[in-house]
């Protein structure tokens, strides 16, 4: 249900050491590929795999994603939030994720390599676990559950690699150096077939729920939720609908009553979270608040949302800002979907921990957008008002998949499969998400395919902003080039744009900010890291990147 296991607090330091010395491989030239065998000075497999306690320790090592500053992968807070900045929800202070879709991405990009390396580190850990676990004498049912959760973790990793890189090296065993440096790319279709099979089989064995002593370990619902993503990515709409219906029918999950407080550390264990990376202050914390908080609050103001995301939030009557009579261009943030204020910090409007966020020019604020390459907006989502500790030692969990995604994905899969949509289905899916007590947006009533498709897509944008889903969405929808080849804007600066000269603004008075230049036909995939190709000449390059 939740990854990175809090019930293993008493063995966490050992798990981290185990993962470091056994699973995390050397960065030397002969072992750049993370399929490598274990270093010679590491814990010996021959002496380690003896008991069920060893199996539990190795299991924790497979869940380990690294706390603190660890980032670029598909499990940790920074690695996942970066995906939404790649997808055009905003900019990052150092432009690190921006480079993926601004026309400059190339095979030497260090962040590309980090996603690759961290993925294969985890795959190697899982392969190593699965190659040794059968040699331990222990309860066979317990062993089967362990194997299934590790297979699910590995499947999630391979899915993301295949989705973002297409054909990638594939193995289910730990390779020798020679094998690792000569393994070719396996076709994406074969990997996706493997992933689906692994998740389907694992979901049957994994428990629907777990006792509190096992909080943090993957359930059947988590495996099915990953499977649903895989099937939607491959446009298997009918099977995806069936998969999501199984999760709904399990009754193991429910929407959290409050959107605003759902991501606070004191609410981190609730039935909406299906798959999360789990952290613990002072033991296994992370540093995302340091990135998120504005400078006036002690943070780095690392992220700047685009106004194009802000525009997607409807007015309180359920109509877009282009259609609603409630929209006032002079006061554009009033009368909007409450999730706008819960998600975006707006200058002279957002109050956090008793202090008003200010980013307008001339204010003297450390967050004035003129001080840095900022849009004037900041992220409010994930800002925890109850937290008063070290911003580099936060214990709040990070959501990877939550039940709202299941409901919206189920509706989308039914729609795209050509199945009949009625009001009852809308009320049990998208309208349930929109009707949280502190959101309370009007119900969707249209069953027109085109209209409903657009409403589902907008709902996913505003509901899951900065949770790492939008890049996945625009790639599988085939609209990445359309969304990312345009001028992006920032905060509202004037109601008289024709006579405003202080800064460049558009016709509506919003700061002209950044332009993305997504290369259609190339940037739909990430390049194979050049460092990997330097040691493995059998790795070909994706189309459009330097060969």
In the predicted structure, residue 176 carries a pLDDT above the cut 50: yes
- In tens, the pLDDT along 59-100 reads 999 998 877 777 799 999 999 999 999 999 999 999 999 999
pLDDT of 547: 87
Phi, psi at 304, each rounded to 5° = -130, 100
- Tell me, yes or no, whether 240 lies in a domain: yes
- Statement: residue 138 has pLDDT above 50: yes
The rounded distance, in Å, linking the Cα atoms of 533 and 437 is 52
Q: What is the pLDDT of residue 20?
A: 34
Asked whether residue 3 is assigned to any structural domain, the reply reads no
Q: Give a three-class secondary structure readout of 399-467.
A: EEEEHHHHHHHHHHHHHHCCCCCCHHHHHHCHHHHHCCCCCCCCCCCCCCHHHHHHHHHHHHHHHCCCC
The pLDDT, as a whole number, for residue 215 is 75
Q: How far apart are CA 272 and CA 252, in angstroms?
A: 9
pLDDT of residue 210: 86
Segments forming the whole domain that contains residue 66: 49-282+398-485+517-535
Residue at 306 is within a domain: no
Determine the pLDDT at residue 492: 98
Residue 429: give its domain's CATH number.
1.25.40.390
With respect to residue 443, please indicate whether it lies within any of the assigned structural domains. yes
Overall average pLDDT of the 385-402 stretch: 92
User: What's the whole-number mean pLDDT along residues 346-368?
Assistant: 97
> Looking at residue 139, what is its pLDDT?
95
Quick check: 403 and 432 in contact, CB under 8 A? no
Q: Above 50 in pLDDT, residue 28?
A: no
542 in a structural domain = no
- Looking at residue 44, what is its pLDDT? 60
Task: Identify the bridge partners of residue 489 per DSSP, sorted by sequence position.
Answer: 512
What pLDDT does 78 receive? Answer: 93
Q: Find the range with the poorest average confidence among 103-107, 175-179, 400-404.
A: 175-179
Contacts of 439 (CB under 8 A, 6+ apart): 259, 337, 338, 339, 433
Percent of the chain with pLDDT over 70: 92
The confidence score (pLDDT) of residue 507 equals 97
CB 383 within 8 Å of CB 352: yes
Number of structural domains in the chain: 1
pLDDT for residue 41 is more than 70 = no
pLDDT in the model for residue 46: 66
Q: Other CB atoms closer than 10 Å to residue 146's CB: what's the count?
A: 23
**pLDDT in the model for residue 196:** 98
**Tell me, what's the pLDDT at 141?**
96
Confidence category of residue 491, pLDDT binned at 50, 70, 90: very high
The partner residues of 352 in beta bridges, in order of sequence, read: 355
Question: Tens digit of pLDDT for each residue in 362-390?
Answer: 999 999 999 999 999 999 999 999 999 99
For residues 164 and 454, give the distance between their C-alpha atoms in angstroms, rounded to a whole number. Answer: 24
- The Cα–Cα gap between 230 and 74 comes to 14
List Cβ neighbours of 304 (8 Å cut-off, separation of 6 or more): 90, 91, 92, 93, 369, 373, 374, 375, 376, 377, 378, 490, 513
pLDDT tens digits for range 277-336: 888 888 888 899 999 999 999 999 999 999 999 999 999 999 999 999 999 999 999 999
Of the chain, the percentage scoring pLDDT greater than 90 comes to 84
In-domain check, residue 433 = yes
The answer to the question of residue 232 being in a domain is yes
Q: What is the pLDDT of residue 21?
A: 33
What is the number of residues in the chain?
Answer: 547
What 8-state DSSP symbol labels residue 379?
E
Q: What is d(CA 291, CA 93) in angstroms, rounded to the nearest whole number?
A: 9
215-226 average pLDDT score: 93
CA pair distance 504, 497, nearest whole angstrom: 9
> Which has more confidence, 317 or 11?
317
Q: How far, in Å, CA of 176 to CA of 183, rounded?
A: 11
Gap between the Cα atoms of 323 and 315, Å rounded: 9
Q: Assign residue 361 a region (left: φ > 0; alpha: ψ between -120 and 50; beta: otherwise).
A: beta
pLDDT digits (tens, 9 = 90+) for 405-460: 999 999 999 999 999 999 999 999 999 999 999 999 999 999 999 999 999 999 99
pLDDT surpasses 60 at 531:
yes
- Averaged confidence pLDDT in the chain: 91
- The closest alpha carbon to 115, from 69, 171, 74, 70, belongs to 74
User: What is the torsional sign of CA 421, 424, 428, 432?
Assistant: positive
pLDDT given at position 42: 52
Residue 521 counted as domain residue: yes
Relative to beta strand 344-345, strand 273-277 is: unpaired
Min mean pLDDT across 31-45, 109-123, 285-299, 308-322 is at: 31-45
Q: For residue 220, give the 3-state DSSP assignment.
A: helix
| Helix, coil or strand: residue 470 | helix
The DSSP secondary-structure symbol of 529 reads P
Between 544 and 8, name the one with better pLDDT: 544
What was the pLDDT predicted at 43? 56
3-state secondary structure of 234: coil
Burial readout 7-35 (b: 16 or more C-beta within 10 A, e: otherwise): bbeebbeebbebbeebbbbbeeeebbbbb
At 4 the pLDDT is 41
Alpha-carbon distance of 392 to 397, in angstroms, equals 14
pLDDT in tens, 246-263: 999 999 999 999 999 999
């Amino acid at each position: 249900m939740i990854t990175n296991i809090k019930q293993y607090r008493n063995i966490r330091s050992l798990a981290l050491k185990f993962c470091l010395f056994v699973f995390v491989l050397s960065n030397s030239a002969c072992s750049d590929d993370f399929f490598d065998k274990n270093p010679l000075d590491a814990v010996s497999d021959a002496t380690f795999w003896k008991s069920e306690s060893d199996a539990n320790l190795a299991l924790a090592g497979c869940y380990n994603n690294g706390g603190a500053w660890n980032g670029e992968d598909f499990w940790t807070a920074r690695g996942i939030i970066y995906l939404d900045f790649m997808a055009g929800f905003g900019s990052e202070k150092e432009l690190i994720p921006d480079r993926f879709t601004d026309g400059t991405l190339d095979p030497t990009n260090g962040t590309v390599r980090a996603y690759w390396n961290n993925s294969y580190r985890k795959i190697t850990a899982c392969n190593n676990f699965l190659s040794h676990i059968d040699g331990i004498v222990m309860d066979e049912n317990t062993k089967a559950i362990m194997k299934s959760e590790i297979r699910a973790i590995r499947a999630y990793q391979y899915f993301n690699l295949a989705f973002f890189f297409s054909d990638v090296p594939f193995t289910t065993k730990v390779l020798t150096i020679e094998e690792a440096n000569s393994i070719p790319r396996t076709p994406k279709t074969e990997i996706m077939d493997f992933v689906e099979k692994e998740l389907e089989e694992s979901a049957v064995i994994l428990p629907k729920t777990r006792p509190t002593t096992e909080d943090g370990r993957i359930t059947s619902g988590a495996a099915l939720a990953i499977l649903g993503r895989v099937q939607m990515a491959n446009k298997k709409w009918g099977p995806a609908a069936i998969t999501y219906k199984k999760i709904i029918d399990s009754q193991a999950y429910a929407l959290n009553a409050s959107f605003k407080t759902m991501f606070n550390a004191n609410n981190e264990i609730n039935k909406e979270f299906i798959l999360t990376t789990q952290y613990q202050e002072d033991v296994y914390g992370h540093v995302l608040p340091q990135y998120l908080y504005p400078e006036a609050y002690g943070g780095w103001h690392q992220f700047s949302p685009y106004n194009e995301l802000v525009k997607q939030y409807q007015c309180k009557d359920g109509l877009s800002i282009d259609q609603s009579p409630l929209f006032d261009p002079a006061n554009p943030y009033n009368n909007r979907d409450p999730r706008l204020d819960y998600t975006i910090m707006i200058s002279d409007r957002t109050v956090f921990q008793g202090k008003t966020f200010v980013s307008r020019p001339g204010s003297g604020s450390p967050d004035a957008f003129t001080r840095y390459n900022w849009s004037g907006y900041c992220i409010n989502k994930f800002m925890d008002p109850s937290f008063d500790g070290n911003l580099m030692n936060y214990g709040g969990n990070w959501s990877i998949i939550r039940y709202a995604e299941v409901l919206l994905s189920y509706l989308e899969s039914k729609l795209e499969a050509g199945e009949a949509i009625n009001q009852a289905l809308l009320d049990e899916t998208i309208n349930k998400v929109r009707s949280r007590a502190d959101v309370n947006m009007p119900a969707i009533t249209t069953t027109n395919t085109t209209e409903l498709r657009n409403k589902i897509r907008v709902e996913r944008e505003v509901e899951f902003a900065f949770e790492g889903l939008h890049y996945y969405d625009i790639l599988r929808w085939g609209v990445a080039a359309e969304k990312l080849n345009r001028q992006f804007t920032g905060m509202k600066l004037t109601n008289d744009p024709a006579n405003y000269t202080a800064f460049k603004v558009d016709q509506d008075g919003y700061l002209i900010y950044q332009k993305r230049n997504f290369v259609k036909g190339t940037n739909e995939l990430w390049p194979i890291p050049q460092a990997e190709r330097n040691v493995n000449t059998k790795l070909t390059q994706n189309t459009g990147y330097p060969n």
